[in-house]
Amino acid sequence: MVGNLNNSGLYKSDEKEQRNINTPLRSDAFNLNEEEKMKKIEASFKDIMDVLGLDLKDDSLQDTPKRVAKMFVKEIFSGLNPANKPSVSVFANTYGYKDMLIEKDILVQSSCEHHFLPFFGKAHVAYIPNDNVIGLSKINRIVDYYCRRPQVQERLTLQIAQELKQVLGTEDVAVYIESKHMCVAMRGIKDDQQFY
């Protein structure tokens, strides 16, 4: 549980810590446009399949490099690009509501940056409103945006919490994620738990 993050010791909002929760992107990350990126990824993935000895002339395999490239750029890693960040509007907390608001069971589908395999599960978000409240579907969109990049679960949790703090103008935000990591489940490491 990442409670009030500033009190937890996990996250302090000084500059160094700030950098640590950002996804490590180079400054030239968006010099290539999406089409150019897909072309390069397609060629690179073709090489990987080729090295594995797969017959790229096979009907079932021949379009795989193109499919993977499109999936990376347009879908599962589209959240790397700040241009795809959802615009989130908030509403004035007109009733002066001061109790904790909770949204549970938000779908998490992301990719482990160490193995490029999926991890998936649920996020639970709680906050105590200050001047503003947020529509529930907007929380889902924020979670989805940060899921769509190579991630580690800890950073994903912190990025969602930070975004909500900024949007809501309060430090009283908690984010908890439970997920199953396919890189653990698929690689023969004993993993009896559904989630961890």
Q: Which of 126, 152, 183, 185 binds Zn ion (CB under 5 A)?
A: 183
Q: Which of 114, 116, 169, 196 binds Zn ion (CB under 5 A)?
A: 114
Between residues 128 and 183, which has the closer beta carbon with respect to Zn ion? 183
Between residues 149 and 165, which has the closer beta carbon with respect to Zn ion? 149
* Three-class HEC string of the chain: CECCHHHHCCCCCCHHHHHHHCCCCCCCCCCCCHHHHHHHHHHHHHHHHHHCCCCCCCCCCCCHHHHHHHHHHHHHCHHHCHHHCCCCCEEECCCCCCCCEEEEEEEEEEEECCCCCEEEEEEEEEECCCCEEECHHHHHHHHHHHHCCEECHHHHHHHHHHHHHHHHCCCCEEEEEEEEEHHHHCCCCCCCCCCC
Is 147 catalytic? The answer is no
- Contact between 187 and Zn ion per CB under 5 A: no
Binding-residue pattern over the window 69 to 108 for Zn ion, x denoting contact by CB under 5 A: ----------------------------------------
- Contact between 115 and Zn ion per CB under 5 A: yes
Is 115 catalytic? The answer is yes
Which residue lies nearest Zn ion, judged by its C-beta?
183
Binding site for Zn ion (CB under 5 A): 112, 114-115, 183
Task: Catalogue the active-site residues.
Answer: 112-115, 153, 181, 183
